[in-house]
Amino acid sequence: MNKFFAHGLNPLQAIRRRGCAVALAIAAILLSGMMIPGQGRAQAPGKPAAPQPWGGGAAGPGIPVVRPLVQTVSEYVELTGNATSVNVVKLFARVEGFLEAVLFADGEKVRKGTPLFTIQQDQYKAQLQQAQAQVQLQQAALLHAKTEVGRYTALVKKDAATQIEVDNWVFQKAAAEANLASAKAQVALADLNMSYTSITAPFDGLMSRHLVDPFNVVGGPGQPTVLAEITQLDPIYAVANLNEQDLQRIRTKFDNAALSLATLYKVPVEVGLANESGFPYRGHLEYVAPGIDPSTGTLMLRGILDNHNFALLPGMFLRIRVPLPRQVAGALLVPNRALGEDQSGRYVLVVNQDDVVERRGVQPGELVGELRVITSGLNREDRVVIGDLWRAVPGNKIVPQLTVITPPSGSSGAPRP
């Protein structure tokens, strides 16, 4: 700035002169960019450079594509449903008294027969002892009556007693027998009431929180008291509703034969959670509703599964599939990640013979490991985009990089280049 003052320029004139110099420099850079390297002349206007395909050369690596894997697969019916408890029991106080103790921790896993609650036992012990004493009393009365019947029967033969006296002791003997039976029933009733003072787990399960604290009176007449709830989680039900179309498909596969209960138990059921891949939980069908619910148009299916580690809880959303007895030969499989979905339905991106990306609507089938069966919309020679989907825009030309699909473990299919 000082050198401009030396030439007699004021500050405003100095700023303007520097701005002109910067503008001339930028123009020179732009003009040099229009020159064709190695020729020293500008590119002819109206002839833009040919577009470069995505995914190759300087733009980056090729976009991976595969041809569908062809193999024989088992056919499945896939459903959604929920986990349901096999047993849920509310534990009631069946006799009246003070709640003396809660013997479990809220939410504890308990075994069948584990003591859970204790109700005051004193009065029920006394009632049991009283009933037992009545049994002894009636046993003594019966013994005495038998003795007198024998004595008076002998005296009658000697004309030392009357028949009326004999008949009276026969009656006393029969009454003593009835009273003894009644006393024994009172013992059984008192013993039952005594057993109700100790509430135990009816099966292996998971406890809820306790609903009544100790030292409260429970089991009042006409007022049943719920003390807690126990849920059986092993085994557990998987319940789903089958629509009529899938029902007809299953009936066709089973040759429209009615399934007996023994056959039903042999039909496997595979279950997975919403956030899991595959179907890691296995069981078998246990119940099929006798008819279609007219309000929903569906048929209820229920499978039963082992649940030793309580991984499945009642109410959980489940993915359920039921294998059909026949296999499909020559099925086409692609990686499940290659499928997209929009308002028009499920689709994949394929590369045509000119290496241009196209959207192809497909009908997906069952999931086999990480691969999805495609029942319609693809053929064996199609090249399906399986990676960098964000770069594969329909209508754009790309550089495809052909890879192979690794067959699921245990399958008979072979990779196709």
Residue 48 pLDDT greater than 70, yes or no: no
Question: Per-residue pLDDT averaged across 410-417, rounded?
Answer: 46
Q: pLDDT for 335-368, tens place per residue?
A: 999 999 998 899 999 999 999 999 999 988 877 8
DSSP letters spanning 180-243: HHHHHHHHHHHHHHHHHTEEE-SSSEEE---SS-TT-EE-BTTB-EEEEEEEEEEEEEEEEEEE
The confidence score (pLDDT) of residue 50 equals: 43
Question: Per-residue pLDDT averaged across 215-244, rounded?
Answer: 90
Same CATH topology for 77-85+232-327 and 122-196: the answer is no
CATH topology for 77-85+232-327 is Elongation Factor Tu (Ef-tu); domain 3 (2.40.30)
Angle, CA 22 vertex, CA 18 and CA 24 arms, to 5°:
115
Domain positions in the chain are 2-42, 63-73+328-402, 77-85+232-327, 122-196
Quick one: pLDDT band at residue 73, thresholds 50, 70, 90? confident
The confidence score (pLDDT) of residue 259 equals: 58
Architecture of domain 122-196: Orthogonal Bundle (1.10)
**Lowest-pLDDT choice from 48-57, 127-136, 294-303:** 48-57
- Helices 163-196 and 122-157: angle between axes, nearest 10 degrees: 160
3-state class (DSSP) for residue 344: coil
Q: Is the pTM of this model over 0.75?
A: no
What is the Cα gyration radius of the chain?
A: 44
Residue 30 pLDDT greater than 90, yes or no: no
CA distance 195 to 191: 6
Residue 260 pLDDT greater than 90, yes or no: no
Question: Per-residue pLDDT averaged across 117-141, rounded?
Answer: 94
The confidence score (pLDDT) of residue 319 equals: 93
DSSP designation for 397: B
CA distance 71 to 138: 84
3-state class (DSSP) for residue 275: coil
154: Cα within 13 Å, side-chain hemisphere: 5
Residue 11 pLDDT greater than 60, yes or no: no
The confidence score (pLDDT) of residue 201 equals: 96
Residue 31 pLDDT greater than 80, yes or no: no
DSSP bridge partners of 273: 318
The percentage of residues in the chain with a pLDDT greater than 70, rounded to a whole number, is 80
Quick one: pLDDT band at residue 159, thresholds 50, 70, 90? confident
Task: Provide the CATH number for the domain formed by 63-73+328-402 in this structure.
Answer: 2.40.420.20
